[in-house]
Amino acid sequence: MRRETQNLLLLLLGGALLKIALGGSYLRYVKPSLFPWLVVAGVIMIGLAAFAIVRDIRSGGVDHHEHGSRSPWMLLLPVFAIFLIAPPALGADSVTRDRVAAPPPKESLFPNLPPEQAPLLSMSEFVTRVIWDDSGALNSRTVRLQGFVVHPTPGTTQLARMRISCCAADAAPVKVDLAAPAQVTELPADTWIEVTGKLRPGTATEANDYVPTLDAITIQQIPAPQDTYEY
Protein backbone atom coordinates (compact mmCIF):
# COMPACT_ATOMS: atom_id res chain seq x y z
CA MET A 1 0.00 0.00 0.00
CA ARG A 2 1.40 3.40 -1.00
CA ARG A 3 2.19 5.88 1.73
CA GLU A 4 -0.34 8.49 0.59
CA THR A 5 -3.00 5.77 0.66
CA GLN A 6 -1.96 4.84 4.19
CA ASN A 7 -2.24 8.47 5.24
CA LEU A 8 -5.69 8.77 3.66
CA LEU A 9 -6.83 5.58 5.35
CA LEU A 10 -5.65 6.84 8.75
CA LEU A 11 -7.46 10.13 8.11
CA LEU A 12 -10.68 8.31 7.23
CA LEU A 13 -10.51 6.07 10.32
CA GLY A 14 -9.97 9.07 12.57
CA GLY A 15 -12.83 10.90 10.91
CA ALA A 16 -15.10 7.89 11.35
CA LEU A 17 -14.34 7.76 15.07
CA LEU A 18 -15.09 11.46 15.48
CA LYS A 19 -18.30 11.11 13.45
CA ILE A 20 -19.79 8.41 15.66
CA ALA A 21 -18.53 10.08 18.85
CA LEU A 22 -19.71 13.63 18.16
CA GLY A 23 -22.87 12.44 16.41
CA GLY A 24 -23.90 10.32 19.40
CA SER A 25 -24.22 7.05 17.49
CA TYR A 26 -21.31 5.62 19.50
CA LEU A 27 -23.89 4.77 22.15
CA ARG A 28 -25.06 1.95 19.89
CA TYR A 29 -21.74 0.25 20.48
CA VAL A 30 -20.01 1.35 23.69
CA LYS A 31 -20.75 2.82 27.11
CA PRO A 32 -21.09 6.61 27.50
CA SER A 33 -17.96 6.69 29.66
CA LEU A 34 -15.86 5.84 26.59
CA PHE A 35 -16.84 9.04 24.75
CA PRO A 36 -13.71 11.06 25.63
CA TRP A 37 -11.44 8.16 24.63
CA LEU A 38 -13.10 7.94 21.23
CA VAL A 39 -12.65 11.66 20.68
CA VAL A 40 -9.00 11.54 21.74
CA ALA A 41 -8.31 8.52 19.53
CA GLY A 42 -9.97 10.18 16.53
CA VAL A 43 -8.07 13.44 17.01
CA ILE A 44 -4.75 11.60 17.37
CA MET A 45 -5.35 9.56 14.21
CA ILE A 46 -6.27 12.66 12.20
CA GLY A 47 -3.28 14.49 13.65
CA LEU A 48 -0.90 11.70 12.72
CA ALA A 49 -2.32 11.53 9.20
CA ALA A 50 -2.04 15.32 8.76
CA PHE A 51 1.53 15.29 10.08
CA ALA A 52 2.53 12.52 7.66
CA ILE A 53 0.92 14.31 4.70
CA VAL A 54 2.65 17.60 5.50
CA ARG A 55 5.97 15.79 5.98
CA ASP A 56 5.67 14.07 2.62
CA ILE A 57 4.80 17.34 0.88
CA ARG A 58 7.78 19.12 2.44
CA SER A 59 10.14 16.26 1.54
CA GLY A 60 9.19 16.69 -2.11
CA GLY A 61 7.67 13.27 -2.71
CA VAL A 62 6.53 9.99 -1.25
CA ASP A 63 7.47 6.39 -1.56
CA HIS A 64 5.36 4.95 -4.37
CA HIS A 65 6.42 1.37 -3.71
CA GLU A 66 3.37 -0.89 -3.67
CA HIS A 67 3.46 -3.63 -1.05
CA GLY A 68 1.95 -6.98 -1.86
CA SER A 69 -0.28 -7.35 1.16
CA ARG A 70 -3.91 -6.36 0.73
CA SER A 71 -4.91 -6.82 4.37
CA PRO A 72 -4.62 -3.10 5.26
CA TRP A 73 -7.49 -2.43 2.84
CA MET A 74 -9.71 -4.37 5.23
CA LEU A 75 -9.53 -1.34 7.52
CA LEU A 76 -11.78 0.47 5.05
CA LEU A 77 -14.68 -1.84 5.86
CA PRO A 78 -15.58 -0.22 9.22
CA VAL A 79 -15.19 3.20 7.60
CA PHE A 80 -17.66 2.33 4.85
CA ALA A 81 -19.99 0.75 7.42
CA ILE A 82 -20.02 3.91 9.55
CA PHE A 83 -20.38 6.41 6.71
CA LEU A 84 -22.67 4.43 4.41
CA ILE A 85 -24.59 1.80 6.39
CA ALA A 86 -24.69 3.11 9.99
CA PRO A 87 -25.18 -0.26 11.77
CA PRO A 88 -28.03 -0.10 14.31
CA ALA A 89 -27.76 -0.94 17.98
CA LEU A 90 -27.96 -4.58 18.99
CA GLY A 91 -31.52 -5.79 19.08
CA ALA A 92 -33.77 -8.83 18.96
CA ASP A 93 -31.58 -10.70 16.54
CA SER A 94 -28.69 -10.63 18.99
CA VAL A 95 -30.94 -11.95 21.74
CA THR A 96 -32.19 -14.78 19.53
CA ARG A 97 -28.71 -15.82 18.53
CA ASP A 98 -27.52 -15.67 22.11
CA ARG A 99 -29.99 -18.37 23.14
CA VAL A 100 -27.87 -21.08 21.55
CA ALA A 101 -24.97 -20.38 23.86
CA ALA A 102 -25.03 -22.29 27.15
CA PRO A 103 -25.11 -19.88 30.11
CA PRO A 104 -22.38 -20.16 32.73
CA PRO A 105 -23.26 -21.86 36.03
CA LYS A 106 -25.29 -19.38 38.07
CA GLU A 107 -23.13 -19.94 41.14
CA SER A 108 -20.10 -18.55 39.26
CA LEU A 109 -21.81 -15.20 38.79
CA PHE A 110 -21.52 -14.32 42.47
CA PRO A 111 -18.53 -14.00 44.79
CA ASN A 112 -18.64 -15.59 48.21
CA LEU A 113 -20.60 -13.74 50.84
CA PRO A 114 -18.51 -11.75 53.33
CA PRO A 115 -17.39 -13.98 56.24
CA GLU A 116 -18.79 -11.73 58.97
CA GLN A 117 -21.76 -12.95 60.96
CA ALA A 118 -24.35 -10.60 59.45
CA PRO A 119 -22.91 -8.89 56.35
CA LEU A 120 -24.55 -5.73 55.05
CA LEU A 121 -25.81 -6.33 51.51
CA SER A 122 -27.39 -3.91 49.11
CA MET A 123 -31.02 -4.62 48.35
CA SER A 124 -30.13 -5.17 44.69
CA GLU A 125 -27.48 -7.75 45.50
CA PHE A 126 -29.73 -9.57 47.94
CA VAL A 127 -32.68 -9.86 45.54
CA THR A 128 -30.43 -10.74 42.60
CA ARG A 129 -28.79 -13.51 44.60
CA VAL A 130 -32.17 -14.83 45.72
CA ILE A 131 -33.40 -15.08 42.14
CA TRP A 132 -30.27 -16.26 40.33
CA ASP A 133 -27.91 -17.91 42.78
CA ASP A 134 -28.68 -21.65 42.87
CA SER A 135 -25.95 -22.36 45.40
CA GLY A 136 -28.29 -21.66 48.34
CA ALA A 137 -25.65 -19.46 49.98
CA LEU A 138 -28.32 -17.18 51.46
CA ASN A 139 -30.56 -19.89 52.85
CA SER A 140 -28.79 -20.20 56.18
CA ARG A 141 -27.11 -16.80 56.44
CA THR A 142 -28.08 -13.84 58.54
CA VAL A 143 -27.78 -10.61 56.57
CA ARG A 144 -28.45 -6.92 57.06
CA LEU A 145 -30.45 -4.80 54.63
CA GLN A 146 -31.13 -1.06 54.63
CA GLY A 147 -34.10 0.61 52.98
CA PHE A 148 -37.30 2.49 53.54
CA VAL A 149 -40.63 1.17 54.78
CA VAL A 150 -43.50 0.53 52.39
CA HIS A 151 -47.00 -0.66 53.35
CA PRO A 152 -48.44 -2.07 50.09
CA THR A 153 -51.61 -3.21 51.86
CA PRO A 154 -52.90 -2.71 55.40
CA GLY A 155 -51.02 -4.93 57.84
CA THR A 156 -48.15 -5.75 55.45
CA THR A 157 -44.70 -4.21 55.28
CA GLN A 158 -41.97 -4.19 52.69
CA LEU A 159 -38.41 -2.94 52.72
CA ALA A 160 -37.55 -1.11 49.50
CA ARG A 161 -34.86 0.84 47.65
CA MET A 162 -35.00 2.61 44.29
CA ARG A 163 -32.48 1.39 41.75
CA ILE A 164 -31.48 3.52 38.77
CA SER A 165 -29.34 2.79 35.73
CA CYS A 166 -28.90 6.29 34.37
CA CYS A 167 -31.17 8.82 36.04
CA ALA A 168 -34.29 9.07 38.18
CA ALA A 169 -36.47 8.69 35.08
CA ASP A 170 -35.60 4.98 34.83
CA ALA A 171 -35.85 4.23 38.55
CA ALA A 172 -37.36 0.90 39.56
CA PRO A 173 -38.11 -0.41 43.06
CA VAL A 174 -36.26 -3.32 44.65
CA LYS A 175 -38.53 -4.87 47.29
CA VAL A 176 -38.39 -7.43 50.09
CA ASP A 177 -41.41 -8.60 52.09
CA LEU A 178 -40.82 -8.36 55.84
CA ALA A 179 -42.04 -11.08 58.17
CA ALA A 180 -41.37 -8.90 61.16
CA PRO A 181 -42.48 -8.06 64.68
CA ALA A 182 -45.85 -6.34 64.85
CA GLN A 183 -44.35 -2.93 65.64
CA VAL A 184 -42.85 -2.62 62.16
CA THR A 185 -46.34 -2.20 60.75
CA GLU A 186 -46.67 0.93 62.88
CA LEU A 187 -43.70 2.62 61.28
CA PRO A 188 -44.72 5.36 58.83
CA ALA A 189 -44.03 4.81 55.14
CA ASP A 190 -40.62 6.12 53.98
CA THR A 191 -39.07 5.47 57.40
CA TRP A 192 -35.50 4.26 56.89
CA ILE A 193 -34.58 1.11 58.79
CA GLU A 194 -31.85 -1.50 58.96
CA VAL A 195 -33.17 -5.04 59.18
CA THR A 196 -31.21 -8.06 60.34
CA GLY A 197 -32.77 -11.33 59.29
CA LYS A 198 -32.74 -14.51 57.24
CA LEU A 199 -34.18 -15.32 53.84
CA ARG A 200 -37.24 -17.52 53.82
CA PRO A 201 -36.27 -19.93 51.00
CA GLY A 202 -38.65 -20.40 48.11
CA THR A 203 -40.62 -17.21 48.66
CA ALA A 204 -39.49 -15.37 45.51
CA THR A 205 -41.72 -16.75 42.77
CA GLU A 206 -43.13 -15.61 39.46
CA ALA A 207 -46.54 -15.25 41.11
CA ASN A 208 -45.29 -12.50 43.45
CA ASP A 209 -42.93 -10.86 40.92
CA TYR A 210 -39.93 -12.52 42.59
CA VAL A 211 -40.19 -10.55 45.82
CA PRO A 212 -38.48 -12.62 48.56
CA THR A 213 -39.49 -12.72 52.21
CA LEU A 214 -37.06 -11.89 54.99
CA ASP A 215 -37.69 -13.21 58.49
CA ALA A 216 -36.61 -10.23 60.54
CA ILE A 217 -34.64 -10.73 63.73
CA THR A 218 -33.95 -7.09 64.63
CA ILE A 219 -35.15 -3.80 63.18
CA GLN A 220 -33.39 -0.51 63.82
CA GLN A 221 -34.46 2.92 62.62
CA ILE A 222 -31.66 4.79 60.81
CA PRO A 223 -31.32 8.20 59.16
CA ALA A 224 -31.84 8.33 55.42
CA PRO A 225 -28.51 8.00 53.57
CA GLN A 226 -27.15 10.93 51.60
CA ASP A 227 -27.62 8.96 48.39
CA THR A 228 -30.86 7.03 48.62
CA TYR A 229 -30.49 5.25 45.28
CA GLU A 230 -28.76 2.01 44.38
CA TYR A 231 -27.02 1.46 41.05
Instruction: Yes or no: say if 14 and 42 are a contact pair by the CB < 8 Å rule.
Output: yes
Alpha helices, DSSP H, located in the chain: 3-23, 35-58, 76-80, 92-98, 123-132
Looking at residue 64, its pLDDT comes to: 52
Last residue of a domain, one of 76, 98, 120: 98
How far is residue 22's CA from residue 19's CA, in Å, rounded to a whole number?
A: 6
Considering the domain architecture, whether residues 153 and 213 belong to the same structural domain is answered as yes
Identify the pLDDT of residue 45: 87
* CATH number, domain with residue 186: 2.40.50.140
Q: What is the mean pLDDT of each run of 10 residues along the chain (231 residues)?
A: 73 82 74 82 89 81 54 60 57 38 48 89 93 86 94 88 72 88 82 94 90 93 86 79
**163 Cα distance to chain centroid:** 12
Q: Same domain, yes or no, for 94 and 118?
A: no
Are 125 and 199 within one domain? yes
Q: Is the dihedral of CA 165, 171, 177, 180 positive or negative?
A: positive
Query: Does 89 share its domain with 124?
Result: no
Domain that holds residue 138: 106-230
- How many Å is the maximal CA-CA distance in the chain? 90
Put simply, whether the predicted model's pTM sits higher than 0.85 gets the answer no
User: What's the pLDDT score for residue 7?
Assistant: 78
Are 176 and 159 within 8 A, CB to CB?
yes
What one-letter code names the amino acid at 114? P
Domain total in the chain: 2
Same domain, 216 and 115: yes
Evaluate whether 13 touches 79 at the Cβ level (below 8 Å): yes
Structural domain ending residue among the three candidates 50, 66, 98: 98
Q: Say if residue 175 is in the same domain as residue 226.
A: yes
Return phi, psi of residue 207, to 5°. -65, -30
Whole-angstrom distance, CA of residue 126 vs CA of residue 136:
12
The 10s digit of each residue's pLDDT in 126-167 is 999 999 888 888 988 999 999 999 988 888 899 999 887 765
Give me the pLDDT at residue 200, please.
94
How high is the pLDDT of residue 91? 41
